Amino acid sequence: MSNHSRSRLEAFYDGSTGTVSYVVWEHASRHAALIDPVLDFDFRAGRTDTASADRMLACVAEHGLIVDWILETHAHADHLSSARYLQQHVGGRIAIGERIRDVQATFKKIYNLERNFLPDGSQFDHLFSDGERFMIGGLEATALWVPGHTPADMAYLLDGIVFVGDTLFMPDVGSARADFPGGDARTLYRSMHRLLALPPETTMYVCHDYPPLDRAPAWRTSVAEQRAQNRHVRDGIDEDSFVAMRTARDATLEVPTLILPAIQVNVRAGQLPPADDNGVAYLRIPINALPGHR
Ligand SMILES: [Fe+2]
């Protein structure tokens, strides 16, 4: 557990997808937000599991937390969200950035989703605009629009902490890919610099870590540390150099294992698609339809 002046935080690392989820709460009131929760998914078996989500529920129970929010930084391509499952157990409003509508429109076409799936964000309880302020108990938080990795990415700032999603990774890893539909390396650079302009002592928590072999997974850093050490955007690396590096690197990356199952669940706020008439939900695999990937 990490202590800041008014908040407490627990991180949950899922080794199979490299995802870090968070429970953060106001110490005084015990009002909480759950951030980027994982629904475990065995693609080969087509089977979901709630072990990761249940660890977050245990934290909520242990500390007697009141869940105000379930926050997504973006529609993840590497894991399914357990937002809906968590909401069924502990409540809270599921929220994401308002540009999720763009992502929904893009992927509604790619998956040819059912007619009554509307790309209007209505699957979520709340859509944040850039700079919007919201409360976790008595703690004020701010939602920051940081597009680039996807068009809808948000960061959440509270109590001297910023949850950056995939906008920055640990300093020795650098940055996330910007080649998903609607992603853009130049936009990502500008969003990263928006976060790097926060006070240097601001603590940063990342949504993923893919550590090099010589260190354990980590997720906590700071603006000062990123500005000094981030291998892709430390001070002195200009926008054109970053864009050239990122574009070249993205061209070498494989498609994430879970992108096709994950996005169709995550644009529904963690809800599985409607079940067929036999009561079973099915995921769709579009053939030769994911743009930009061979
Ligand atoms: Fe991501």
Contact indicator for 100, 267 with CB cutoff of 8 Å:
yes
Measured in Å, residue 162 CA sits from the centre of ligand 1 at: 16
DSSP string, the chain: -EE-SSEEEEEEEETTTTEEEEEEEETTT-EEEEES-EEEEETTTTEEE-HHHHHHHHHHHHHT-EEEEEE-SS--SSSEE-HHHHHHHH--EEEEETTHHHHHHHHHHHHT--TT--TTSTTSSEEEPTT-EEEETTEEEEEEE--SSSTT-EEEEETTEEEEETSS--TTT------STT--HHHHHHHHHHHHTS-TT-EEEESB----TTS----EEEHHHHHHH-TTTSTT--HHHHHHHHHHHHTTPPPPTTHHHHHHHHTTTTPPPPP-TTS-------SS-STT--
Measured in Å, residue 24 CA sits from the centre of ligand 1 at: 20
* Lookup: tokens for 170: 């640990």
Measured in Å, residue 257 CA sits from the centre of ligand 1 at: 13
* Lookup: tokens for 29: 């009131």
For each of the chain's 294 residues, which pLDDT tens digit applies? Answer: 777 899 999 999 999 999 999 999 999 999 999 999 999 999 999 999 999 999 999 999 999 999 999 999 999 999 999 999 999 999 999 999 999 999 999 999 999 999 999 999 999 999 999 999 999 999 999 999 999 999 999 999 999 999 999 999 999 999 999 999 999 999 999 999 999 999 999 999 999 999 999 999 999 999 999 999 999 999 999 999 999 999 999 999 999 999 999 999 999 999 999 999 999 999 999 999 998 754
* Per-residue pLDDT, 1: 73
Write phi, then psi, for 95 (nearest 5 degrees): -135, 155
Contact indicator for 31, 139 with CB cutoff of 8 Å:
yes
* Per-residue pLDDT, 2: 78
Measured in Å, residue 48 CA sits from the centre of ligand 1 at: 20
Measured in Å, residue 75 CA sits from the centre of ligand 1 at: 7
CA dihedral 113, 119, 122, 126 (to 10 degrees): 130
* Per-residue pLDDT, 4: 84
Measured in Å, residue 28 CA sits from the centre of ligand 1 at: 32
Measured in Å, residue 76 CA sits from the centre of ligand 1 at: 5
What the chain holds in terms of domains, given with CATH numbers, is: 2-266 (3.60.15.10)
List residues bridging with 127 in a β-sheet: 96
Measured in Å, residue 173 CA sits from the centre of ligand 1 at: 14
Kindly report the pTM of this predicted structure. Answer: 0.97
Contact indicator for 19, 40 with CB cutoff of 8 Å:
no
* Per-residue pLDDT, 293: 55
